[in-house]
């Protein structure tokens, strides 16, 4: 069975609307180097609550995402995209768009960091967009032009996932929170009930475990809430248990 993998997203801000660009690819398509194929495209599906063929407002995008979630609940399953070998949960799917809207960039911001928005015209010709005004005029001229009931313009970004991550770091630098050491009277670990061992790390092909919770490799948490939050990212919650260890342990925490 094939499925669509979501690798990244980068929305383009145009006034009060967004051009929703995503990097995705099929799970059973491979390139000549043996890596899964992936490409940038304008995610048309999320525009279904908009009157435009290429852009939508933040409210329209979130409305469309919520409709996808409601449709999934009606069918009894939800599989819009996969990531790290697992389908996105409804909450993860919704957060994809909330974060993409929050971190949207203009065409000018993209080009400033060497990332260019490319448009594929109906004639097959390709050109780079250099400004928001140029993009706005292009969409205005083509928004009502359809071939076989489909929009005629295709969009690409000339960057891989690493390039886009670097791009976002330039405009949305991570805040450095000062930390200090603190000793807790107890700490928490996550136990796999299937294996009977404690989680060290999650990898693409499975988990690393150790049968001794006191092993320095086992992932530890200062509070139950943090351990619980991490365990929710691991998979089915019935497979994991948060265990309290009544021993002193030092952690780095926000000052």
Tens-place pLDDT, residues 26-67? 888 888 888 888 899 999 888 988 888 899 999 999 999 999
Mean pLDDT estimate for the chain: 89
Question: What pLDDT, on a 0 to 100 scale, did the predictor assign at position 190?
Answer: 95
* 159: nearest Cα among 27, 8, 3: 8
Give the bridge partners for 82, in sequence order: 5, 87
Question: What pLDDT, on a 0 to 100 scale, did the predictor assign at position 174?
Answer: 81
For residue 185, is pLDDT > 90? yes
Instruction: State pTM to two decimals.
Output: 0.70
Question: What pLDDT, on a 0 to 100 scale, did the predictor assign at position 160?
Answer: 79
Mean pLDDT of 202-208: 81
Question: What pLDDT, on a 0 to 100 scale, did the predictor assign at position 43?
Answer: 92
Give the up-direction half-sphere exposure of residue 198: CA atoms within 13 A in the CB hemisphere: 20
Domain segments of the chain as ranges = 4-171, 179-254
* Dist. CA 233–CA 87, nearest whole Å: 12
CA dist 80 → 5, 88, 89, 92 (Å):
9, 7, 9, 11
- 76 vs 60, residue with greater confidence: 60
What whole-number percentage of the chain has pLDDT above 90? 53
What's the pLDDT tens digit per position in 140-155?
Answer: 887 766 566 667 788 9
E runs forming strands in 15-72? 17-26, 39-42, 56-57
Give the bridge partners for 23, in sequence order: 8, 40
């Amino acid at each position: 069975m094939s499925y669509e993998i979501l690798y990244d997203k980068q929305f383009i801000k145009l006034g009060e609307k967004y051009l929703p660009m995503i990097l995705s690819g099929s799970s059973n398509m491979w390139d000549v180097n043996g890596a899964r194929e992936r490409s940038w495209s304008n995610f048309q599906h999320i525009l279904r609550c908009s009157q435009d063929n290429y852009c939508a407002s933040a409210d329209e995008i979130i409305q469309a995402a919520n409709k996808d979630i409601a449709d999934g609940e009606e069918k009894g399953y939800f599989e819009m995209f996969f990531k790290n070998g697992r389908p996105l949960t409804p909450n993860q799917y919704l957060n994809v768009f909330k974060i993409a809207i929050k971190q949207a960039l203009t065409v000018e911001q993209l080009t400033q960091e060497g990332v260019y928005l490319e448009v594929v015209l109906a004639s097959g010709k390709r050109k780079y967009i250099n400004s928001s005004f140029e993009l706005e005029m292009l969409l205005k001229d083509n928004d009502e032009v359809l071939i076989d009931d489909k929009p005629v313009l295709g969009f690409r970004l000339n960057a891989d996932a690493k390039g886009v991550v670097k791009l976002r770091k330039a405009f949305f630098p991570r805040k450095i929170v000062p930390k200090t050491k603190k000793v807790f009277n107890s700490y928490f670990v996550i136990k796999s009930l299937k294996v009977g061992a404690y989680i060290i790390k999650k990898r693409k092909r499975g988990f690393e475990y150790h049968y001794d919770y006191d092993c320095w490799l086992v992932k530890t948490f200062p509070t139950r809430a943090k351990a619980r939050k991490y365990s929710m990212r691991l998979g089915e919650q019935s497979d994991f248990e948060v265990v309290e260890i009544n021993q002193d342990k030092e952690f780095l925490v926000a000052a």
